[in-house]
Structure 1
Amino acid sequence: MPTTHAGWFRVVAIAEAISWAGLLLAMAAKYGLGQPLGVTVMGWIHGLVFTAYVVTCLVVFSPLRWRFRVLVLALVSSVPPLASVWFEWWARRRGLLDLREADEPTFWAKVGYALKTLN
């Protein structure tokens, strides 16, 4: 099991791409062979993994110190088939999956502080 933010992101990104490919194969079976059950099963699985990918992006962008446009690119890459793997490769090559130290608090720390202040 992964122990880092980057490791979890990579696992979920690959799973999202695999579920996309499975859904595409199930759609080919449905419309080419008249077998609709695959789309029902793979559609549910892909929906679950897609949601996990979006949540993972929202969780890891703060500790990994991604800029907002990198987060948007990560989220947009979940739409085209297999693009989440391309994004993971691109982010790894640019060092965006390395944990970086910074003086300012993370985004989620700022949100937590704002929520505590409001209460």
Structure 2
Amino acid sequence: MSGALGRFRFMAYVVGVGLLALVLAMVVKYAGGEPGLMRVVGPVHGFLYAVYLVLTVDLALKARWSIKGTALVLLAGTIPFVSFYAERKVVDSVRADRAL
């Protein structure tokens, strides 16, 4: 399970940083009138979030999380900064051998 946890941790950070980049790109698009950055960051973040979803479900199945816990961790990648918090909680939970 350590491999699944490591992959999840990596993607949680990548998605968290990607989401912050997406928010910045949205500000540039709507406040600055320049949509170019959004054309690049949007699809990249979407792809990375899809990978995050797959890796989270993989870890959830191996760690035997509840559906509610799994759904909350999946949604954590949609709110800025929450994926960092969720990653910490998941690591603590998995290392303590507790289900979410």
What band does the TM-score fall into relative to the shorter chain? 0.7 to 0.9
Shift of 1:59: 1.1
What TM-score results when the alignment is normalised by the length of structure 2? 0.85
What is the distance in 2 between the residues matched to 1:8 and 1:97? 13
Give the structure 2 partner of residue 30 of structure 1: 29
What is the distance in 1 between the residues matched to 2:38 and 2:63? 35
Deviations 1:24-67 (A, max 9, x none): 11111112222101011000111011111111111111112222
User: How many equivalent residue pairs?
Assistant: 96
Decide whether the 8 Å contact of 2:19 with 2:78 is kept in 1: no
What TM-score results when the alignment is normalised by the length of structure 1? 0.72
* Structure 2: gaps (5+ residues): none
The residue type paired with residue 13 of structure 1 is A
Q: Which has the higher contact order (CA 8 A, sep 6+)?
A: 2
User: Percent identity of the aligned residues?
Assistant: 26
Query: What SS does the aligned partner of 1:78 have?
Result: helix
Shift of 1:99: 8.6
The residue type paired with residue 36 of structure 1 is P
RMSD: 1.7
Q: Which has the larger radius of gyration?
A: 1
Give the structure 2 partner of residue 50 of structure 1: 49
What is the distance in 1 between the residues matched to 2:8 and 2:29? 31
**Aligned pairs for 1:60-75 within 5 A:** 60-75=59-74
Q: Which structure's residues are more often helix, by fraction?
A: 2
Give the structure 2 partner of residue 98 of structure 1: 95
The ranges of structure 1 where at least 4 consecutive aligned residues each deviate by more than 3 angstroms after the TM superposition are none
